[in-house]
Amino acid sequence: MSHYQVLARKWRPRDFDSVVGQPHIVRALKNAILKKKFAHAYLLSGTRGVGKTTVARVIAKAIRCPDLSQNGNPCLQCESCLSIEKECTLDVLEIDGASHNGVEHIRELIENVQYLPATGKHKIYIIDEVHMLSKEAFNALLKVLEAPPSHVVFIFATTMPEKILDTVLSRCIRFNFKTITESILVEHLAMIANKEGIRSIDEGALRAIAREAQGSLRDALSLFDQVLSFAIEEDGPLTQEIIYLALGLPAEDTINNILAAVLLCDVKKCSSLLRGLLEKGVNVKRIALSILDQLYQLIQVSAPAPVPNWPFNFGKEILQQVTRAELFWIYEVMVKDFRWSLDALLPEKVTEIALQKICYRRTFFKVDRRELGATATVATEVSPGVSPELSPQVQQQVQAQVVPPQQAVPSQVLLRQRSSSEDLANNFLDHPFIKETEKIFNSKVNRVFVKENSEVIETNRE
């Protein structure tokens, strides 16, 4: 029975040219190796799955390859290149710093370092996760780094360079690996899908995987594996829908609909959409992150300039239903409320309540109807943003809170009074319900407050 080889292993680059997203590193290394001016110690740092171990192995091949190509790539045909790929040479030693972190391991290594390579001119030591070495192990390593034998090259890899002693850092040539951009991830996934003969796949679907991978190519390939095994029995193209199901992500359309419901104060719809996603097994944190991400995008495109690509499934008119101050207030409240809702005992329910609170915002504070439409690219006269789905009582309450035009205040004052999210929050705090709650709370703890305050004042005076 043959084993399935995961994509991340199958597609590990064998030479410099197959490494993506790190052109600055590849170029510097190729030049150094071609000119035989490579250093005795390199430190490759960067986040998970961006090519550190891969590049360390390519460096080892290139330094030892007797048949280096003109552009600095190892030949991949010679005995040395092949033995490194099969991991059956004593001249390239790969040490896992996490499990070999004691001083005894490094002492053993130092003894070994003195011996010449069995073949070729150089012996390479790759120490992965080097930040995991103990302090004593680092000190032992420092000794050999100060005066390494000329046939030895050390390559250290780490995700946490800040944990490495400065004395070690200053003896290494350091390369900081970048996280891989979304567009490079998409391109790379498309190339692999094509070479693997995978049936047609939406670009949007690849983008969803890339976004989820957050800059790590290994993560992108592992997620792709996950999607492929999920969709193994399905015919037709791999759509965004399939990707979302396979990865347990909320579909963009549904998040668009939740956002629209929030903007239109549509409590019922907002809750039922959220519950629908939760019933499908979508993680509440993912939902919260996606809502925030889309609201961020909406705020970006709400500037009074033409928007070339409108990224939502609802029209631009929706921006006429909310003031800009409201948008910022919603964003601020979501950021704060999701923090506690996701940490709560019942995060799903508390997140729903947080969204409901935002939907009910116009029953808590006033909205100036003359500011409605101001957020839209083309401002038009519109009615106050009351969702038709709110109950008649709530609608009435909302209408009553909207400032009628005859109570006009000079526009500058109005701007100062109403345009910041802080003002809106203050209006919220002015609400009778909040005041009442505050009064009850204060009556219970007032004495404690007074005592603490006087103590604080006294300390400050000193």
Ligand X SMILES: Nc1ncnc2c1ncn2[C@@H]1O[C@H](COP(=O)(O)OP(=O)(O)OP(=O)(O)O)[C@@H](O)[C@H]1O
Residues that bind ligand X (CB under 6 A): 8-9, 11-13, 19-22, 48-54, 157, 159, 217-218, 221
d(CA 454, CA 461): 11
Structure tokens at 144: 């050999």
- Residue placing its CB nearer to ligand X in the complex, 24 or 143: 24
Q: How far is the CB of 380 from ligand X (least distance, A)?
A: 50
- Residue placing its CB nearer to Zn ion in the complex, 63 or 238: 63
Provide the Cα torsion 72, 75, 81, 82; round to 10°: 160
Residue 78 touches which of Zn ion, Mg ion, ligand X, none (CB < 5 to 8 A by kind)? Zn ion
Q: How far is the CB of 194 from ligand X (least distance, A)?
A: 15
Q: How far is the CB of 81 from Zn ion (least distance, A)?
A: 3
The rounded radius of gyration (Å) of the Cα atoms in the chain is: 30
- Residue placing its CB nearer to Zn ion in the complex, 81 or 260: 81
Q: How far is the CB of 141 from ligand X (least distance, A)?
A: 19
- Residue placing its CB nearer to ligand X in the complex, 191 or 307: 191
- Residue placing its CB nearer to Mg ion in the complex, 158 or 401: 158
∠ CA 359-293-241, nearest 5°, is: 95
- Residue placing its CB nearer to ligand X in the complex, 159 or 377: 159
Q: How far is the CB of 102 from Mg ion (least distance, A)?
A: 21
DSSP code of 419?
Answer: S
d(CA 357, CA 282): 22
Map residues 233-272 to x or -, x wherever contact with Mg ion holds by CB under 5 A: ----------------------------------------
Which position has the token pair 């609802």?
314
Does 53 help bind Mg ion (rule: CB under 5 A)? yes
CB 14 within 8 A of CB 55: no
Residue 221 touches which of Zn ion, Mg ion, ligand X, none (CB < 5 to 8 A by kind)? ligand X
Residue nearest to Mg ion (CB): 53
- Residue placing its CB nearer to Mg ion in the complex, 53 or 320: 53
In three state form, how does the secondary structure of 76-107 look?
Answer: CCCHHHHHHHCCCCCCEEEEECCCCCCHHHHH
Q: Binding segment for Mg ion among 46-54, 78-86, 330-338, 424-432 (CB under 5 A)?
A: 46-54
Q: How far is the CB of 48 from ligand X (least distance, A)?
A: 4
Q: Binding segment for Mg ion among 53-61, 219-227, 316-324, 427-435 (CB under 5 A)?
A: 53-61
In sign, the C-alpha dihedral spanning 289, 294, 300, 303 is: negative
Residue 123 touches which of ligand X, Zn ion, Mg ion, none (CB < 5 to 8 A by kind)? none
d(CA 321, CA 300): 17
Which residue type, as a one-letter code, is found at position 437?
T
**How buried is 155 (Cβ within 10 angstroms: 0-12 exposed, 13-18 middle, 19+ buried)?**
buried
Residue 120 touches which of Zn ion, ligand X, Mg ion, none (CB < 5 to 8 A by kind)? none
Q: Binding segment for Zn ion among 63-71, 101-109, 353-361, 365-373 (CB under 5 A)?
A: 63-71
Does 264 help bind Zn ion (rule: CB under 5 A)? no
Q: Binding segment for Zn ion among 9-17, 34-42, 65-73, 339-347 (CB under 5 A)?
A: 65-73
14: closest CA among 71, 54, 50? 54
Q: How far is the CB of 118 from Zn ion (least distance, A)?
A: 16
- Residue placing its CB nearer to Zn ion in the complex, 78 or 403: 78
**How buried is 82 (Cβ within 10 angstroms: 0-12 exposed, 13-18 middle, 19+ buried)?**
middle
Q: How far is the CB of 362 from Mg ion (least distance, A)?
A: 53
CB 339 within 8 A of CB 432: no
Residue 359 touches which of Zn ion, ligand X, Mg ion, none (CB < 5 to 8 A by kind)? none
- Residue placing its CB nearer to Zn ion in the complex, 49 or 74: 74
d(CA 429, CA 437): 10
- Bridge partners of 126, per DSSP, are 94, 155
173: closest CA among 163, 185, 161, 184? 161
E strand or H helix at 448:
helix 432-461
d(CA 446, CA 11): 66
Q: How far is the CB of 196 from ligand X (least distance, A)?
A: 13
Q: How far is the CB of 60 from Mg ion (least distance, A)?
A: 14
Per-residue CA distances from 118 to 91, 92, 121, 147, 446 (Å): 7, 10, 9, 21, 81
Residue 81 touches which of Mg ion, Zn ion, ligand X, none (CB < 5 to 8 A by kind)? Zn ion
Structure tokens at 347: 């995060």
Map residues 73-102 to x or -, x wherever contact with Zn ion holds by CB under 5 A: -xx--x--x---------------------
Residue 19 touches which of Zn ion, ligand X, Mg ion, none (CB < 5 to 8 A by kind)? ligand X
Q: Do β-strands 152-158 and 92-96 pair in parallel, antiparallel, or remain unpaired?
A: unpaired
Site residues for Zn ion per CB under 5 A: 65, 67, 74-75, 78, 81
Site residues for Mg ion per CB under 5 A: 52-53
